[in-house]
Amino acid sequence: MLELQKEAFLRAGIRVLLLMLGLAGPLAAQEDNHSLYSINAVQVQEGPVLDGVLDDAVWSSGVLIDNFVQQEPDEGAPTSEHTEVRVLYDSETLYLGLRASDSAPLGVTATEMRRDSERILDEDNFQIILDTFMDSRSAYMFVTNPLGAQLDQQIANEGEGNRRNRQAGFGTSNINKDWDGVWHVAASQDANGWTAEIAIPMVTLRFPESEVQSWGLNLMRNIGRKNEQAFWAPIPKAYTLTRVSMAGSLTGLRTLNRGSDLRVTPFVTGGASRVTQAGQIDNSFQRDLGVDLKYGLTAGLNLDVTANTDFAQAEVDDEQVNLTRFPLFFPEKRDFFLENSGQFTVGGVNPGNRIVDLFFTRRIGLSDTGNVPILGGARLTGKVGRNDLAIMDVQTRGNELGLAGENFLVTRYSRNFLSRSRVGALFINKNQTGGISRHYNRTYAVDTSLSPHASLTITGLMAKTQTPGRTRGDMAGYVHAVWLDENYRIYSEYGDIQDDFNPEVGFLPRAGIRTSKTHFEFTPRPGRLGIREMSPMVNIIYTTDQQNRMVTRRMHYMMGTRFENGAYLNLWYNRWFERLDNTFSFRGVPLDPGDYSFGEFRASFMSNPARKVYYSLTYSPQTFYDGDRTDTSASVGVRFTDRFSTEASYGRNDVNLSNGSFQLDLASIKVDFALSPTMTLR
């Protein structure tokens, strides 16, 4: 019976997608924003002095953009607060000057000064996206606010997998939030609103080798207190600024000079320790040195070299509680692996149901037992015409825990065709260079992404691994089709991961499965009770082993509600089935083999995070395998000034199973003091 229900559900999803594919031809083609929203670049001999005040005479020669239109709340209407942007450039820098008028200047929300803080996106801010290769896929994104704070990101494949509603809580490897480019901002507030002067050096960007350049460009202003977003080149409500295929264009850029594109970063580390035991004194000293080098071979290709790499400056991971049977995904935060990291990405596109990522950089230099020293490495990434190239080679050395040195070679090529489609291949070789076993592991893959219509994208891959002693079945396949427009988000995906598929340099939560997911979601706008948008959804995940025996099923029902004041309410219920063939332990409490059915209810509320005092609450009572579980969490944040803020959070999991019980508590408090937009104490 369950098998019949599953097949009927999947057939319904496939029929809807096929119907929409059939409609793709007759639907009126979306107008080309590249031509409808186009400005000709104005070159000057010398740019303005950045002081946050638009009083330099040179700004008057810049091209004016003042026709911003709303995406939210009233799509297509002019922005409620007048917005002007001037654009100009010299041979080495692109300049943008913003005048963000505001009829209630005291209502401007600006309390976040920390670099790359996501809170910047919740307050008043101004966003820029540059598609320097005009490929409608990749881009650089720059964000600032009335305090001159900076947030920057690299975008690959239009941020595929990203959700417009950030409260969904899922990230995507196609948006590199940890990339830090070199650019400059000065901002100020006055009686008419706020202004900002932005300078983006050409050396920060990659672009084609041509005398005359045309780039994709889009601009967005967020008015925090109104929860209003306004764009220069309009983007429908289903998408965000990362939809670079809908950007306007900046044309006529000439004789650009990236200067000397060489950055060398040497480093020295040192330390000492003294241990006294049983009258014996042991003094030890630690010292090390190394260097990172970044060099632009061409305007489109970048070479990174590292020797005796030090990752001491990398940001630590956020604490997570894992009450599943499978590993959690932690994003990469080490600088050497970040720039153009999206070019190496091959895998599932749904971060909420991560089936496989064939290349996961945290497999290099990190292990369950700690850090593995990196002797050195080199990486070449970039674009040549419609071709994306990415090559990396890294060598580690053994450590005191007995891990042998290893060499990692990763090569990735993809070719863009049509307006938003691509095809590519990936090869990964991991080879042990020390010890006796000389173990190796290899991954081969081909992948494609097809976009026959602006709202329809089909993604797929085929992969094979090669590991000594694992030959029963070492193949994997995956396909994902999604329809996304202003009213609907509908997708189906299917993955087949054979028992011995073993991408040791990738992220694979579960092998030996066949898994499918079908998802229906629409976004009604009641226009009453202070509700801006609702997102009722239903989806099913159905997973079998390689013998087609059901091992997991999840039925998910959710109602998300976004309010006009920026608050968000989320209610969901999950109905689970799990089959355990072997004993499994949660925190030392064993679960016996068998079939388990249980249900999970969850209610969460988040106030508008742009307010000076904000909070969130979550309550989730549920049955859990052969027992029950209750999850509760709360957080509160206060922005005392534009430099000083604090946030406290607490979460608790109470789990009661037939073989025992346990509780997990996770508390944190963060205090931030911003000395400037580039320096923060935490």
Which helix H or strand E contains 35, and what residues bound it? Answer: helix 33-36
Q: Look at residue 113 in the predicted model and tell me its pLDDT.
A: 85
| Sequence letter at residue 306 | T
Give the pLDDT mean for 29-35. 65
Q: Show the tokens assigned to 631.
A: 């999850």
Is residue 162 scored above 90 in pLDDT? no
Half-sphere exposure of 13 (CA within 13 A, CB side): 26
Q: What is the DSSP string of 54-102?
A: ---GGGGGSEEE---EEEESSTTSBPSS-EEEEEEE-SSEEEEEEEEE-
**Nearest residue to 39 via CA among 219, 237, 202, 256:** 219
| CA pair distance 463, 500, nearest whole angstrom | 12
Q: Look at residue 435 in the predicted model and tell me its pLDDT.
A: 67
| Positive or negative: CA dihedral 333, 334, 335, 339 | negative
Q: What is the DSSP string of 445-502?
A: EEEEEEEEETTEEEEEEEEEEEBTTB-S--EEEEEEEEEE-SSEEEEEEEEEE-TT--
Give the pLDDT mean for 357-366. 87
Residue 10 or 118, more confident: 118
Is residue 79 scored above 70 in pLDDT? yes
Under the banding of pLDDT at 50, 70 and 90, the label for residue 12 is: very low
Q: Look at residue 353 in the predicted model and tell me its pLDDT.
A: 77
pLDDT in tens, 497-516: 999 999 999 999 999 999 99
**Nearest residue to 571 via CA among 522, 540, 538, 526:** 538
Q: Look at residue 24 in the predicted model and tell me its pLDDT.
A: 40
Give the pLDDT mean for 14-22. 44
pLDDT in tens, 418-450: 878 999 999 999 998 876 778 899 999 999 999
Q: Are 177 and 153 in contact (CB under 8 A)?
A: yes
The β-bridge relationship of strands 660-676 and 679-681 is antiparallel
pLDDT in tens, 374-430: 889 999 998 888 899 999 999 988 766 667 789 999 999 999 988 789 999 999 999
Q: Look at residue 405 in the predicted model and tell me its pLDDT.
A: 85
Q: Look at residue 287 in the predicted model and tell me its pLDDT.
A: 66
Q: What is the DSSP string of 98-124?
A: EEEE-SSGGG------STT-GGGGGSS
Q: What is the DSSP string of 169-182?
A: ----TTEETT----
* Region of residue 215 (phi > 0: left; psi between -120 and 50: alpha; otherwise: beta): beta
Q: Look at residue 626 in the predicted model and tell me its pLDDT.
A: 94
Residue 224 or 436, more confident: 224
Residue 206 or 129, more confident: 129
Is residue 170 scored above 70 in pLDDT? no
Half-sphere exposure of 159 (CA within 13 A, CB side): 23
Residue 158 or 548, more confident: 548
CA 156 to chain CA mean position, Å: 10
Q: How much is the mean pLDDT over the chain?
A: 86
Among 421-430, 504-513, 594-603, 672-681, name the one with the lowest average pLDDT.
672-681
Among 108-117, 283-292, 606-615, 624-633, name the one with the lowest average pLDDT.
283-292
CATH topology of domain 32-254: Immunoglobulin-like (2.60.40)
Among 30-44, 165-179, 577-591, 629-643, name the one with the lowest average pLDDT.
165-179
Q: Look at residue 30 in the predicted model and tell me its pLDDT.
A: 40
Sketch the domain layout of the chain as residue ranges: 32-254, 261-298+300-481, 523-682
Is residue 473 scored above 50 in pLDDT? yes
Query: What's the burial of 635, exposed, middle or buried (CB within 10 Å: 0-12/13-18/19+)?
Result: middle
Is residue 169 scored above 50 in pLDDT? no
pLDDT in tens, 315-357: 556 667 777 888 777 777 777 787 777 888 888 877 777 899 9
pLDDT in tens, 181-192: 899 999 999 999
